Amino acid sequence: MDTDDFAYDFEAPGSDWNYEPSRADLFRQIDAPLYTTDSEGWLTYYNEAPTELWGFRPVLGKARWCGAWQLFEASGAPLPHDLSPLALTLKDGRAIRGSQICLERPDGSRVAFMPYPTLLRDRTGAAVGASNILLKIERPSLSVVFRGSVRGRQTLRAAQSVGMHRCSA
């Protein structure tokens, strides 16, 4: 066999041959409501799906722990954002899963969901943030009433007009 008959290509492959998508590129491909926070819980990214669940678009870097207007425990008691599963995941360094929670939208409607928070770590293993996928529950086992807005409860517009935003707690 004569080796002069073979043509070798020693050119480097194209620049996209070893493309690794960014975390945001990967998250955009997920249809489920998903958002990320930094290590202190400030929202850094969300895809389109949670805006439908939350009922509005929170401002990145200004909303903390989640984008929901208000949260409730399964018992119907208000759940402070800093005690939400994502907040506890960041504080304790372990995922808090399996809980059913209710969120209230700015228009007063409520939706049951299950959060699946996950720590995001750097190459050294240090937690640099968290991601959370929210699964809407069609048949909630919550004792929370899922009707329209409650009379006397402050609306999003009224709260923002006085400079208050519950997600920034």
CATH at 119: 3.30.450.20
Q: Closest Cα to residue 131, out of 21, 20, 32, 19? A: 32
Residue 125 in domain: yes
83 domain residue, yes or no: yes
Does residue 85 sit within a domain?
yes
Q: Specify the amino acid at residue 84.
A: S
CB-based contact 72:110 (threshold 8 Å): yes
Domain assignment present for residue 3? The answer is no
Q: Are strands 43-46 and 34-38 parallel, antiparallel or unpaired?
A: antiparallel
Domain carrying residue 133: 22-168
**pLDDT tens-place values along the chain, 169 residues long:** 555 665 555 555 565 566 677 767 777 778 889 999 999 999 999 999 999 999 999 999 999 999 999 999 988 899 999 999 999 999 999 998 889 999 999 999 999 999 999 999 999 999 999 999 999 998 755 544 444 344 444 444 444 443 433 443 3
pLDDT value of position 63 = 94
Please check whether residue 1 lies inside any domain of the structure: no
Total number of domains constituting the chain: 1
Q: Residue 116's pLDDT is what?
A: 96
